[in-house]
Amino acid sequence: MTNLHRQEGQVTVLVAVFMVVLVGIAGFAIDVGSWFRQQRASQSTVDSAALAGAQSLPDDTAGATAMATTYAGKNGGVAGAAITFTSRYAPNDTITVQQSRPAAGFFSSLLGISTVTVRAHASAISALPTAVMGAAPIAVDIHHPMLSGAGCPCFAVPTTIALDKKGVPGAFGLIDFATHNGNTGNSTLADWIANGYNQYLPPGDYDSDPGAKFDASQIQDALQGKYGSDLLFPVYDSLAGNGSNATYHVVGWAAFHVTLSQASGNSGTISGWFDRVIWSGIVPASGPSSDMPDLGVHSVALVD
């Protein structure tokens, strides 16, 4: 009987030790889960901060720092954040936000681990998009004086874009993004102006939409509805063919802040100024083509 009592006592001690270990493991797992949640929160903070800061690049690193700091403060806090700039495709086109902060443990302190350091980092780039979303179907000649004149592209300088014959029969400066046969209706062209074309468009050859459709009331109404805002126009360097077979060679994109639109018969103008913008577009890992002109339209994307 004595030996049996001793065995029961040993089992009780082993069970007690096992329970302590089990509770410790469970508690440590809870702490690890908490640390992962804090790391994900920090990652969200640096992601939003990097994307916000990239909108001021590559020209204004001070503005990028301020924007990144503001967004970090709104999305988890700036404690432990460090901001740096690097050059990937152009000088100072990339911002990196890193954050390190302590994360306390509760159960893990029983194992001698009172805190761990949670780290997160994100890099975002501002670059020329290789394709854009939301373009309007009005072609602009690369030789416009505010795009290729001395010291240009020039932004925030009042100017006009001519709506008229473009030098080949049937071409008046409207582009057919979708059907490639020049038969897009006025209502569709007006929708592309009001809301932008709803697919990504890369540079390349695009068919002319023949005729002076910009004089139609639907298109003029759409342009008037954009007064005080930016439209994104395709910019071309050559035009060949005629009628619905005329082809614009689009080399890039320019944003135009619209203040007035006028049209009568086969001629008209859009008044305003060219603008620097961050626009919805695709920034591939390999970067934009070296042949693409920088006309002030950039897109931002996380790259790391």
Confidence of residue 144 (pLDDT cuts 50, 70, 90): very high
**What is the rounded (10 degree) CA torsion for 181, 141, 234, 174?**
-40
- Bond preceding residue 58 cis, omega within 30 of 0: yes
List, for residues 283-301, the tens digit of each pLDDT value: 987 877 778 999 999 999 9
pLDDT at 76 over 80: no
Q: Could you give the CA distance from residue 274 to residue 146 in angstroms, rounded to a whole number? A: 8
Q: What is the pTM of this model?
A: 0.83
List, for residues 224-259, the tens digit of each pLDDT value: 999 999 999 999 999 998 877 789 999 999 999 999
Q: What is the pLDDT of residue 181?
A: 63
- Mean of per-residue pLDDT scores for the chain: 85
φ/ψ region of 29 (left if φ > 0, alpha if ψ in -120 to 50, else beta) reads alpha
Q: What is the pLDDT of residue 108?
A: 52
Write down the H helix ranges in the chain.
2-54, 61-74, 145-148, 186-195, 217-224
Confidence of residue 217 (pLDDT cuts 50, 70, 90): very high
Q: Could you give the CA distance from residue 100 to residue 82 in angstroms, rounded to a whole number? A: 9
Spatial neighbors of 212 by CB under 8 A, at least 6 apart, are 163, 164, 172, 263, 265, 266, 267, 268
Write down the H helix ranges in 55-156.
61-74, 145-148
Q: What is the pLDDT of residue 137?
A: 96
Q: Which of 255, 130, 244 is nearest to 182 (CA)?
A: 244
**Which of these ranges, 12-16, 93-97, 272-276, has the smallest mean pLDDT?**
12-16
